[in-house]
Amino acid sequence: MKSKPSNITTIFTILTVILPWTGLSQDSDTSSYTTLENVPYRSASDPDTTDYMQERCKLDLYYPTRQKDFPTIVWFHGGGLRGGSKFIPGALKNQGVAVVAVNYRLFPKVKSPAYIEDAAASVAWTLKHIAEYGGDPKKVFVSGHSAGGYLTSMIGFDQRWLAAYDCAPDQLAGLIPFSGHTITHFTVREERGIDGNQPIIDDLAPLYHVRADAPPTLLITGDRDLELLGRYEENAYFWRMLQVVGHKDNDIHELDGYNHGQMADPAYPILLRYVKDRSGK
């Protein structure tokens, strides 16, 4: 049996049978939701705009049409910062929340920090525009899997990225990265010619920016014995450092029996419960 800190919550496989009930309002009438596709979140009039930026810097907005002041989850796909595409997770549909699914530019067509800049631009768009669709801008949560988890933490802890769009991380209701790097991402290391097994913590690592006044944070990983190399351990260290610096609202879940690719499915209900608890649902 694995030894784990007593105040780290372990989610056992059997709980996935129970967890699909989230406590959020579920609406079986899919006609009460609508999806806007390929909404640009960057201005085409920006002099720095490129054809690739116009192609990738778009989002899909899925939202309830019969509710007001609903919470919103900004969702970043995974893919190692070099692949993947935006999608609305099925587990987040018909749950009384809006979902903003984001495409961002990818390596090798761009290098860091382009994808972080895109993530920040899409979150800023959400904070500034979600009220136009009935959502509450004070209930914007950010989440994503793997590379998407890394982007979640970078824009939530390193304040410069949202500041570039006249926004701030303290406007966010919560950060819920799924199995994301907290050290410098392996693709960023590859860009610099650094071996993927060489851990680096610099200003492109969420760990570098740990601070007491960051938004509420829930870290979720797969099983430490099945995860990508060191992924649970770096998240556990990140969680510990949040406590050291005095951050008051943080937790970590390790999903027993699930590897890196599998862990998202049992994590979605945890994400929804977290959103409910902090949205007064």
120/154 Cα distance (integer angstroms): 9
Q: Residues 12, 249, 101, CA angle at the centre, nearest 5°?
A: 70
pLDDT at res. 93:
98
Which tokens go with 58?
């778009």
44/144 Cα distance (integer angstroms): 26
pLDDT at res. 233:
98
Determine the 3-state secondary structure of 256 from DSSP.
coil
Domain boundaries in the chain? 9-279
The whole-angstrom distance between residue 135's C-alpha and the CA centroid of its chain comes to 18
pTM equals 0.92
Name 143's bridge partners. 75, 176
Question: How many beta carbons lie within 10 A of that of residue 54, not counting itself?
Answer: 13
Q: Going residue by residue through the chain (281 aa), what tens digit of pLDDT does each one get?
A: 344 443 444 444 434 433 444 445 667 677 799 999 999 999 877 778 899 999 999 999 999 999 999 999 999 999 999 999 999 999 999 999 999 999 999 999 999 999 999 999 999 999 999 999 999 999 999 999 999 999 999 999 999 999 999 999 999 999 999 999 999 999 999 999 999 899 999 999 999 999 999 999 999 999 999 999 999 999 999 999 999 999 999 999 999 999 999 999 999 999 999 999 999 86
The CATH homologous superfamily to which domain 9-279 belongs is Alpha/Beta hydrolase fold, catalytic domain (3.40.50.1820)
Cβ distance 214 to 247 under 8 Å?
A: yes
Please report, in angstroms and rounded to a whole number, the separation of the first and last CA atoms in the chain.
Answer: 37
Cβ distance 129 to 156 under 8 Å?
A: no
Cβ distance 53 to 43 under 8 Å?
A: no
CA atoms within 13 A on the CB side of 64: 23
97/26 Cα distance (integer angstroms): 9
Residue type, 55: E
pLDDT at res. 5:
46
pLDDT at res. 25:
61
pLDDT at res. 24:
59
